[in-house]
Amino acid sequence: MTPPALRAGRDEDAADFIALIGACWAEYPGCVMDVDGEVPELRALASYYAGQGGALWVAEQDGRVVGMVGTRPLGDDAPGAAWEICKMYAYPDQRGSGLARTLIDTAEEFARAHGATAMKLWTDTRFDRAHRFYENRSYLRDGPIRALDDLSRTLEFTYAKPLTGVVVRRLDAAAAVSAIPRLATVLAECVNAGAAAGFHAPLAIDRARATWKRAASQAALGEKILLAAWADGTLVGTATLDLDMPETQRHRAELHTLLVLPAARRRGIGRQLLRAAETAALGAGRTLLVLDTPAGGDAERLWRAEGWTERGTVPDWSRTSDGAPEAATFFWKQVG
Ligand SMILES: CC(C)(COP(=O)(O)OP(=O)(O)OC[C@H]1O[C@@H](n2cnc3c(N)ncnc32)[C@H](O)[C@@H]1OP(=O)(O)O)[C@@H](O)C(=O)NCCC(=O)NCCS
């Protein structure tokens, strides 16, 4: 069998599209397809997207379409700013091969080249495997569930992500839960590259996920604020503010887990996360911020450059996996 090759989708692929989408929907109970009643665009899909300024690609293997993706400008934001990923499908035997990743990367590249600054998509709430795929591609849940008045009684999640530049966002409960896979990757990669984040390396991805699952619940309860940073469409950094203080200290918060993936460092992302954390703290009525950081580490320069005050060093604050003591320096900053 030859490996699948990408090419532009054509209107004449209609029968293949209907077969592929029908097979994917059939994996989920209650998902039924009425082409002419509900998805008539499938009869001439390339023209449909081209007419809206978008595009369509297929992966073809031995003369058969085995994967597809489309994209189009949404036009509901600033002109050309947000584009949609549509009709992202691959047959089950193609999954895990990297084909879907290649397809979505191609669509994002096209959107970016045509002025997109953000991507959005709608996905059936039943398509749980697709959710993991989008979450690993740095898309997060965004806003309420959408109900379609269709034969399948479809409810859809919205997923979105910024596509260009460095963007920092505060995560609400739905976004925080959907960020777990990506945040776990950031945490595990940073710890395994030597970051002090309260874990010994190597940190297994399951433990990292469990950590963010807990943090997402705490964010939902208002005990934590979670921030995420994207660089050119990839979630590469995070910061956590702990708001859960004794009743005499509800004017303060602790900054934890400021992390940027090693490959994305020294681009100002840590600084942007730190500033966003300070703004978010103030918004939550917290005017005093405190953090501890490995004594003598590179991060100390960031705190000093951002006006944090050094408050001394505690020896034996943490221990390496061999039991060796490590000192921490404490910093504080009054905001507002
Ligand atoms: C600390 C950390 C979050 C900084 O992220 P970053 O995106 O690289 O930071 P920035 O690019 O915004 O750097 C801002 C400033 O911090 C200082 N800085 C950051 N990393 C530095 C380094 N390796 N060497 C020297 N200065 C450094 C510099 O002053 C830098 O400004 P400059 O690039 O204009 O000189 C990142 O290095 C990291 O994740 N480290 C591991 C985890 C960690 O130690 N977190 C802090 C726990 S409290």
- What tens digit of pLDDT does each residue of 67-119 get? 999 999 998 655 559 999 999 999 999 988 999 999 999 999 999 999 999 99
Q: Is there an atom of ligand 1 within 6 Å of 65 CB?
A: no
pLDDT score of 55 = 98
pLDDT score of 1 = 81
Confidence of residue 264 (pLDDT cuts 50, 70, 90): very high
**pLDDT of 192 strictly over 60:** yes
Compute the distance between CA of residue 297 and CA of residue 141 in angstroms, rounded to an integer: 35
CA angle 259, 299, 287 (to 5 degrees): 80
What domains lie within the chain, and their CATH numbers?
Answer: 5-162 (3.40.630.30), 166-334 (3.40.630.30)
Percentage of residues of the chain with pLDDT beyond 70: 99
- Nearest 5°: phi and psi at 80? 75, 0
For residues 189 and 309, is the Cβ–Cβ distance under 8 A? no
Confidence of residue 298 (pLDDT cuts 50, 70, 90): confident
For 21, 89, 102, the CA distances from 68, given in Å and listed in that order, are: 9, 5, 10
Residue 205: which of 181, 234, 240, 230 has the closest Cα?
181
3-state secondary structure of 291: strand
Percentage of residues of the chain with pLDDT beyond 90: 90
Torsion of CA 275, 281, 286, 290, to 10 degrees: -60
Residue reference for tokens 């939902």: 220
Compute the distance between CA of residue 124 and CA of residue 107 in angstroms, rounded to an integer: 20
**pLDDT of 149 strictly over 90:** no
Query: What crossing angle do the helices spanning 180-192 and 128-136 adopt, rounded to 10°?
Result: 40
- In terms of Cβ atoms closer than 10 Å to its own Cβ (0-12, 13-18, 19+), residue 11 is middle
Per the structure block, which two tokens stand in for 81?
A: 């700013």
Say how many Å lie between the CA of residue 143 and the centre of ligand 1.
32
CA angle 65, 5, 28 (to 5 degrees): 40
Compute the distance between CA of residue 123 and CA of residue 121 in angstroms, rounded to an integer: 7
pLDDT score of 76 = 67
pLDDT tens figures, 107-144: 999 999 999 999 999 999 999 999 999 999 999 999 89
Compute the distance between CA of residue 319 and CA of residue 239 in angstroms, rounded to an integer: 23
pLDDT score of 228 = 98
Compute the distance between CA of residue 127 and CA of residue 132 in angstroms, rounded to an integer: 9
End-to-end CA distance of the chain: 64
Q: What does the pLDDT average to over 254-261? A: 96
CA angle 140, 128, 205 (to 5 degrees): 65
The residue whose CA is least distant from atom 17 of ligand 1 is 302
pLDDT tens figures, 4-27: 999 999 999 999 999 999 999 999
The residue whose CA is least distant from atom 30 of ligand 1 is 302
- Nearest 5°: phi and psi at 157? -85, 150
Q: What does the pLDDT average to over 237-248? A: 98
For residues 71 and 86, is the Cβ–Cβ distance under 8 A? yes
Q: Which helix (H) or strand (E) holds 147?
A: strand 146-147
Q: ω into residue 202 within 30 of 0, thus cis?
A: yes
Compute the distance between CA of residue 118 and CA of residue 85 in angstroms, rounded to an integer: 11
Say how many Å lie between the CA of residue 300 and the centre of ligand 1.
8
**pLDDT of 190 strictly over 80:** yes
Say how many Å lie between the CA of residue 266 and the centre of ligand 1.
6
Which of the listed residues 199, 240, 265 should we mutate to test ligand 1's pocket, taking the one with most ligand atoms within 8 A of CB? 265
Say how many Å lie between the CA of residue 159 and the centre of ligand 1.
30
pLDDT score of 80 = 57
